Amino acid sequence: MVHAWILLSLICAFALATSDALTKKTLVRSNEYLAAWFRLVFSLPLLLLIWTVVPTPKLDSAFYIAFILSLPLEIAAMILYVKALKISPLSLTLPFLSLTPVLLIVVSYLILGEKVSLQGSIGIVVLAAGGYALHFHEIRKGLWMPFKAIRREKGSLLMIAVAIIYSVTATLGKMAIEHSSPLFFGVTYFCAGTVLFAPIALWMGRNELKEFIFTGQYKKLFFPGLFYSIMIVSHMTALNLTKVAYMISVKRISLVIGVLYGYFLFRETNIGERVLGTLLMLTGFVLIVTAA
């Protein structure tokens, strides 16, 4: 029998990958700040509807500390995330999100006292090998060329930065959930993020805002926003049913889905090595989380 958290995590993975792919299609003609914000805006209807039926738990200082510290980091991650989607292939950017669990090992140890086993260390090596394989075609130019290619691919670098930020926000988010409830935190967190991100997005996209609205480009963010809200709800609900490392390991199936979207929707090249790299990274990820 499939555990509920596994099913919810798979739904979360599909929703995230689909939202990313649809957002990338919109980014061809749209400002990335406006696209990121409108995706959040269109996620609000479902979140606000849920908020009407979710009871408000008793909140303490730990919740507020985690909540307040996470928000600016989350907004920074959103900006970098969408920039990466815009400037680089999906199959070269999304796989780097699997670096988050490696970083979580360090962050969760510092904050929660979790320790890494030998198997977890092996998983880190396998995961790093997956990142190398993403640029395997560069090896004919020299053994270290795949690493240099990662540096040249700005979208990959941006997504690595996102992975670093997510390792912190995931830990803080888990802390906030433990001191409130999954749905309450998910709804209030992303509603607050939408409000705080608004002045940044509107200012950075001010030159394109009129065209963005009057040409109807914003409407193309409706389905990305809808899938994003499904991702949020399934993520927070699954997180309440199991350990954060296990939940996120299944959620990272979105990386493979994202690579496939890159091939079928955007005809991205070198797909074989990127699938191989993604699967290696996921294998390393599984080794890490099952060692926890």
200 in a domain, yes or no? yes
Q: What pLDDT does 118 receive?
A: 74
Is residue 280 within 8 Å of 127, Cβ to Cβ?
yes
Given the structure tokens 């997956």, which residue do they identify? 130
Q: How far is residue 281's CA from residue 249's CA, in Å, rounded to a whole number?
A: 11
CA dist., res. 182 & res. 237, Å (int): 6
Max CA distance (Å), the chain: 59
- Residue 288 inside a domain? The answer is no
Assigned domain for 179 exists: yes
Distance (Å, whole) CA 56 – CA 76: 28
Quick one: the chain helix, strand, coil %, rounded to 5? 85, 0, 15
* CA nearest neighbour of 67 among 163, 164, 187: 187
Our count of domains for the chain comes to 1
Q: Is the residue at 287 inside a domain?
A: no
Domain containing residue 164: 4-97+155-268
Which parts of 28-60 fold into alpha helices (H)?
Answer: 32-41, 44-51
Q: Is 110 exposed, middle or buried (0-12, 13-18, 19+ CB in 10 A)?
A: exposed
Determine the Cα–Cα distance for residues 160 and 147; give it in Å rounded to an integer: 13
The verdict on residue 19 lying in a domain is yes
Whether 114 is in a domain gets the answer no
Pairwise CA distance, residues 280 & 272, whole Å: 12
CA dihedral 190, 21, 94, 281 (to 10 degrees): 110
Distance CA 38, CA 213 (A): 11
Residue 283 lies in a domain: no
Q: Is residue 57 a contact partner of residue 180, using CB atoms and an 8 Å limit?
A: yes
Please state the pTM of the whole predicted model.
0.84
pLDDT at 88: 83
Question: In this structure, is residue 110 part of a structural domain?
Answer: no
The string of DSSP codes covering 82-150 is HHHHHHS-HHHHGGGGGGHHHHHHHHHHHHH-----HHHHHHHHHHHHHHHHTTGGGGGG-TTHHHHHH
Encoded tokens for 144:
């270290």
Each residue's pLDDT, cut to its tens digit, for the chain (292 residues) gives: 457 888 898 899 999 999 999 998 888 888 999 999 999 999 999 999 999 999 999 999 999 999 999 999 999 999 999 998 888 887 677 777 777 777 877 787 787 676 667 776 787 677 767 766 766 665 566 656 556 767 777 888 898 899 899 989 988 998 899 899 999 999 999 999 999 999 999 999 999 999 999 999 999 999 999 999 999 999 988 877 877 767 777 787 787 788 778 878 877 776 777 777 778 877 877 776 676 5
